[in-house]
């Protein structure tokens, strides 16, 4: 490499490193004032949507509400029974939802009854 390169770049790199090292040595973590209080925020309470009272509602609310809100299903498109079955099985197999096997059909029936494609 060119000798002029070393004469111009190396001192600049050394100076930058020295400045960084000096800054790191003098930096102190910031501490909170003695009278500081934790910040608090209040979020609005949003009521869950009223879900139709049909067979399987309780199983849906209990089993599916562990991971997401009741509102989630109301935002989904109308799916066929096969798609709802696949969705419930995905929650069980992929996301490890602990839905008892004897409640799967009940939950699917409920989902189809409120958000099924065959419903108009």
Q: What is the pLDDT of residues 68-103, one digit of tens each?
A: 888 889 889 999 999 999 999 999 999 999 999 999
Q: What is the pLDDT of residues 15-57, one digit of tens each?
A: 777 677 666 666 666 677 778 888 889 989 888 778 999 999 9
CATH of the domain at 90: 1.10.760.10
Helix ranges (H only) for 1-120 are 3-26, 57-64, 71-74, 81-93, 101-115
Q: Domain of 84?
A: 57-115
Q: Does residue 110 fall inside a structural domain?
A: yes
63, 82 contact by CB (below 8 A): no
Beta-carbon count within 10 A of 64 CB: 20
Would the pTM count as exceeding 0.75? no
């Amino acid at each position: 490499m060119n000798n002029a390169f070393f004469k111009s770049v190396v001192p600049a790199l050394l100076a930058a490193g020295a400045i960084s090292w000096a800054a790191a040595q003098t930096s102190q973590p910031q501490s909170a004032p003695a009278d500081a209080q934790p910040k608090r925020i209040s979020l609005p309470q949003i009521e869950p949507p009223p879900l139709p009272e049909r067979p399987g509602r309780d199983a849906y609310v209990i089993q599916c509400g562990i991971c997401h809100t009741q509102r989630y299903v109301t935002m989904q498109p109308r799916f066929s029974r096969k798609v709802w079955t696949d969705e419930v099985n995905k929650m069980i197999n992929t996301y490890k939802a602990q839905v008892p096997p004897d409640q799967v059909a009940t939950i699917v029936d409920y989902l189809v009854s409120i958000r099924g494609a065959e419903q108009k």
